[in-house]
Amino acid sequence: MRFVAALLLLVQQGFCSQTEFSQENAARILRHLVVDIGPRPMGSPAEHRALEYAVSSFKASGCDTAYIMPFDRTGRVNTSSGVAVGIKRGASGRIILIGGHIDSAGPEIPGADDDGSGSATVLELARVFAGKPNHSTLVFCCFGGEEQGLEGSRHFASTYADLDSIDLMLQVDMANGLGTIDLDPDTHGSSAPPWLVRAAVAEFYNLGYDDLRYPTHFFSLNYSFPAGAGSDHESFLQRGIPAIDLSTDVGKPIHTPRDNFENFDPRGMKRSGDLLGRLIARFDGGVPDRTTGQYWLSLLNHTPLFVPLWLIRVFAGLSLALAAIAFASVRRRREPPDSALRVRWSGMKMFLASLMITACGWLSSDLIALVRGIRHPWLTAIPLYYLFALLAVVIGGWISIHLMSRLRLSQCPYVFFKRAVILPALLIILSGLFAVKLAVEPSAALLLIGLAALVRHPLLKLLLVLLSPWWILRILFSEWDALLFRSLASGIPQGPVAWLAFNGIAVLFFSIMILPFLFALASIVRDHTQLKRVVTIAGSRATLAVSVVLSVILAGYLLAIPVFDQFWYRDVHIDERYDGSNHAREVSIRSSEYLKGVTITHDGRDTLIQARTTKVDLTPAAGFDTTWLVVRRLEQAQHFGDTTLYDVKLRLDSKRRPLTVSVSFESGGEALRAFDTPYQFHTDRGTTRIDWYSFPDSALTIPVSFSTVGHGGVTERIEVTFDGLADPVGVDGETIYILPRTTYVSSLTYGR
């Protein structure tokens, strides 16, 4: 009977996974967005064509209404974008909204995964559901401007007339392949109601899919601050509407030119489309309640665990209380202050050991980088470099054991235990004040340290201490660490001073983070003589020999495997600059990776870069075209005593549509007086800016007015950037991608 029941379940799941969502149709839509239309940064003509295509697709699918909801500015830029909206009316006015964002992150970024795939999924879902009756009204949205700060969804959520009728919002942001798919039910300060998370998990596994995850540690950190990674579902959660996002495999090369159709696996759109289709059908008759929630979430196998925030505070309090009890217990066994066993500076000596261990682990990849002549050799093999760093940590620990034996440490457990609890307790208190969810990890770490001090079995003590740092390290090395480290790598400057500064700060930070656990380890070793044998084994020649041999073998493998592949290239930036105020011209080539082996063609000459450098400056050629931008100013000044009122009309004429335009005004660090313009502007640190992004008109007329007092002047600075080169430069090399930019600058000071 069990066999028959299991067989029936498998058959049922097989039938359940067959939905009307067509992977082939979604792939065809995606190809049109990514290949035929191409990169779609906010405000670009390509983004507008994509929005028009989405509207025509909604109409062809049978939506009752389809249109573009435009907006002509955001909170910071004067850029026109919009939201493509398709509406299939149901028997009721209750609304389920299905969304994805249609823009990409830049003019060279096709955005197949992020988020052409989400928009293609939405358009295919519109085809599936527009042809059948529904109780709820379905609103399908392709949002513009997500990459510039959720601009499209924020505009929709603040202006849509029937917003109060939206009971549920479902978002797809990245649907590439069948790798790990992350549920994101969060925003800053609130989350989707538990019933929505439970439904998403249940329907996902009912469809027979696998690899669903909630990145607990990353989201706890990410959503504890005012800004961070997120998607358009946040705009609805912030207005009290239940919403959830699906993001697949964030370790793929999003926000790079390799986010293209060739590197895309369309099976992910089928998976995300199936899940959203099930959720639409499940809640077509209504939702349990129209609320949001607050909780700490962990996905245990197929079961979501919701922990209310008050319980986190209780857990934190219990951890602090247990640590206090352990502190009192260990303190009773401390050596007297005048004991002959007292050793000064034990804490500083342990900090030296922490620095040694951290430096070995953190700098291990730099050893491979030095040998290979590549700054970031770990781009395509991050897990292997973690293993290599772990072996280096063991070697660093071996060195520290022998160093501490020479420096001598206190034999009193209390000396180390009192230091072990300080940092976790401080993190708990700070988290409780500013970000309650972040209290979980230091509370768990402190709980384990406290238990280790109270239990008497030596091996259990050791196990508890060894487990304690995992919680803090999971915040620092979270589920999205690949995305974070690759993003960080692109911004690390070259040069010995920059290298020392960056790595010195990193080693110091991680040394402080692991120091409490070294103190805890030293405390239990001093508390139980049986554990000294563990230290003896860790400091033995055999441990060093095994670690070194394994490190050499792994290093040999890491030196042999390719650093770059079809997903991870060297992005080479060609930056050209012309300052019309002093007629200065600059041409430079830079990359986050070494340019060694790259051939530069410029001014009729080929130059092979043979040095390990990340930047090359070129002498501008005589043919540098300085006429791409013409700036005209019509200025009128009126004097009233010591006050001068300026009315200025700027006219910017470009030979081609620029990528970005920025006009700034600055008056000695002070806010401008009586500044006015019909355009959107913002002021930061005394500088007032008027910005456009991306591809505004080639002719811009910008009227502004402001006043000055006394002899104070106002400096105007115009920067117009194009996605092309005024001075032709060619760059050739293996696995490189060229990103060309030319910036024209014009400055003028009024009132001096």
Res. 5: pLDDT tops 60: no
Alpha-helical regions (H) of 266-380: 267-282, 309-332, 346-362, 364-372
What is the pLDDT, as a whole number, of residue 277? 97
ω into 468 cis (within 30 of 0): no
Ramachandran angles phi, psi of 519, nearest 5°: -60, -45
The arithmetic mean of pLDDT across residues 223-251, rounded, is 93
Q: Within a 10 A sphere around the Cβ of 666, how many other Cβ atoms?
A: 19
14 — pLDDT class (breaks 50, 70, 90)? very low
Phi, psi (deg, nearest 5) at residue 640: -130, 90
Two tokens, residue 440: 């979980």
Q: What is the DSSP letter of 437?
A: G
293 in any annotated domain: no
C-beta separation of 118 from 162 below 8 A: no
CA distance 490 to 474: 23
Question: φ, ψ for residue 160 (rounded to 5)?
Answer: -65, 125
For position 408, what pLDDT does the model report? 87
> For residue 711, is pLDDT > 80?
no
Order of strands across the sheet with 673-676? 629-640, 643-654, 699-709, 673-676
Q: Residue 143 falls within a domain, yes or no?
A: yes
- b/e sequence 471-498, b meaning 16+ C-beta within 10 Å: bbbbbeebbbbbbbebeeeeeeebeeee
Q: Which two tokens stand for residue 698?
A: 């080639």
| Neighbouring-strand partners of residue 585 | 578
**Span 362-380, average pLDDT:** 94
Q: What is the mean pLDDT of residues 282-290?
A: 97
Gap between the Cα atoms of 268 and 247, Å rounded: 10
Residue 509 has pLDDT above 80, yes or no: yes
Q: With cut-offs at 50, 70 and 90, classify the pLDDT of residue 16.
A: very low
- Alpha-carbon gap, residue 336 to 341, rounded angstroms: 9
pLDDT of residue 713: 84
Task: Indicate if 530 and 555 belong to the same structural domain.
Answer: yes
Q: Is the pLDDT of residue 4 over 90?
A: no
| Nearest-angstrom CA–CA distance, 171 and 99 | 5
Percentage of the chain beyond pLDDT 70 is 97
> What integer is the mean pLDDT of 604-613?
94
Per-residue pLDDT reduced to its tens digit, 420-475: 999 999 999 998 888 999 999 999 999 999 999 999 999 999 999 999 999 999 98
Q: Is the pLDDT of residue 399 over 70?
A: yes
- Does residue 711 lie in a domain region? yes
Alpha helices in 333-421 (DSSP H): 346-362, 364-372, 382-407, 413-420
- In DSSP terms, which residues pair with 517 in a beta bridge? none
Q: What does the alpha-carbon distance between residue 412 and residue 326 come to, in Å, rounded to a whole number?
A: 15
Q: Is residue 342 over pLDDT 90?
A: no
Residue 192 pLDDT: 98
Q: Coil, helix or strand for 643?
A: strand
φ and ψ at 500, to 5 degrees?
Answer: -65, -40
Residues 178 and 127 in one domain: yes
Are 532 and 429 found together in one domain?
yes
More confident residue, 545 or 343: 545
Q: What pLDDT band is residue 10 in, cutting at 50, 70 and 90?
A: very low
Instruction: Please tell me the predicted confidence (pLDDT) of residue 340.
Output: 63
Judgement on whether residues 548 and 582 belong to the same structural domain of the protein: no
Query: Does 482 have pLDDT greater than 70?
Result: yes
* Average pLDDT of the segment spanning 143-154: 96
pLDDT at 338: 67
506 and 606 within one domain: no
300 in a domain, yes or no? no
Residue 338, class by beta-carbon neighbours within 10 Å (0-12 exposed, 13-18 middle, 19+ buried)?
Answer: exposed
Pairing outcome for strands 615-618 and 190-191: unpaired
Identify the pLDDT of residue 752. 66
44, 694 Cβ separation under 8 angstroms: yes
Q: Tell whether 344 and 491 lie within a shared domain.
A: yes
CA distances from 271 to 127, 197, 199, 208, 397 (A): 16, 17, 16, 10, 46
Report pTM.
Answer: 0.92
For 157-191, the pLDDT digits (tens) are: 999 999 999 999 999 999 999 999 999 999 998 99
Does the residue 297 lie in any domain? no
The whole domain housing 331 covers 309-560
Per-residue three-class SS string for 152-205: HHHHHHHHCCCHHHEEEEEEECCCCCCCCEEEECEECCEECCHHHHHHHHHHHH
pLDDT confidence bin for 1, thresholds 50/70/90: very low
Q: Binning pLDDT at 50, 70 and 90, where does residue 558 land? A: very high
Note whether 360 and 281 are same-domain residues: no
- Whether 13 has a pLDDT exceeding 60, the answer reads no
| Sole residue written with tokens 């082939």 | 24
Q: In this structure, are 363 and 410 located in the same domain? A: yes
The region, left, alpha or beta by phi > 0 then psi within -120 to 50, assigned to residue 149 is: left
Q: Which residue carries 């991680």 as its tokens? A: 510
How many domains would you assign to the chain? Answer: 3
**Which pLDDT band holds residue 641 (cuts at 50, 70, 90)?**
confident
Confidence check: pLDDT of 12 > 70: no
Please say whether the beta carbons of 420 and 519 come within 8 A: yes
pLDDT of residue 15: 39
CATH number of 659's domain: 2.60.40
Q: What does the pLDDT look like over 243-279, one tens digit per residue? A: 999 999 999 999 999 999 999 999 999 999 999 999 9
Question: What local confidence, expressed as pLDDT, does residue 8 receive?
Answer: 35
Count of residues in the chain:
752
Share of the chain above pLDDT 90, in %: 84
Indicate whether 729 pLDDT > 50.
Answer: yes
Q: Please, what is the average pLDDT of the chain?
A: 93
Six-digit token string for 151: 């601009």
In a domain, 685, yes or no: yes
32 contacts 53 by C-beta, under 8 angstroms: yes
The pair of structure tokens assigned to 75 is: 């909170």
Q: Report yes or no on 215 lying in a domain.
A: yes
What angle separates helix 267-282 from helix 117-130, to the nearest 10 degrees? 50
- The pLDDT of residue 18 is 52
Residues 371 and 400 occupy one common structural domain: yes
Among 540, 560, 580, where does a domain finish?
560
In this structure, what are the phi and psi dihedrals at residue 668, rounded to the nearest 5 degrees?
A: 60, 30
CATH of the domain at 76: 3.40.630.10
What value does the mean pLDDT take over residues 35-61? 98
Residue 292 in any domain: the answer is: no
Distance of CA 322 to the CA centre of its chain: 36
User: Which of 513, 510, 520 shows the shortest CA–CA distance to 447?
Assistant: 520
Question: What confidence tier does 67 reach under pLDDT thresholds 50, 70, 90?
Answer: very high
- Assess whether pLDDT exceeds 50 at residue 2: no
Integer CA distances (angstroms), 238 to 149, 232, 364, 505, in order: 14, 11, 43, 36
> What is the arithmetic mean of pLDDT over 80-100?
97
CA distance 649 to 639: 18
Whether residue 366 sits in one domain with residue 479: yes
- The last residue of one of the domains, among 227, 254, 287, is 287
Asked which of 287, 322, 345 is the last residue of a domain, the reply is 287
Same structural domain, 500 and 590: no
Does residue 710 share a domain with residue 613? yes
